[in-house]
Amino acid sequence: MKEGSIVKGRITAIKPYGAFVKIDEDYTGLIHISEFSDRYVRDIKDYVDVGDVVDLKVLSVAEDNKVSLSYKRLHKRKKRYQIRLKQGFKPLKKQLSQWIRRYNPKDDA
């Protein structure tokens, strides 16, 4: 196992700071809470639960075969931007002529 590898692991425990993973008989690892998402993670259970088997990216491997893993580098959530206009641009169109009539360049001097 080496840095940058993609591995499958089973979530064995969830703590407030991360999730423990069993990769195989020789390797165990930790997904630190900061490696679940680029955004604030309120609850790791929003991403994984005990018993889940997930694909993970290996960040580093220690001499004692403990592995640092990342969930977010393989499971990026697409950002969704949604704009909801209740009235659209009609109020702007309606107000524009009034604003132009009220504007008096002499007041700026």
- Mind listing the pLDDT tens digit for each residue in 30-89? 999 999 998 899 999 999 999 999 999 999 999 898 999 999 999 876 666 666 656 666
For residue 61, what is the domain's CATH number? 2.40.50.140
Residue range of the domain that includes 50: 6-70
DSSP string, 37-86: -SS--S-GGGT--TT-EEEEEEEEE-TTSEEEEESTTTSPPPP------S
- 55 located within any domain: yes
How many domains does the chain contain in total?
1
The mean pLDDT of 21-25, rounded to a whole number, is 94
- Assess whether pLDDT exceeds 70 at residue 28: yes
- 22 located within any domain: yes
What's the confidence (pLDDT) of residue 12?
Answer: 97
pTM of the model: 0.69
- 47 located within any domain: yes
- 56 located within any domain: yes
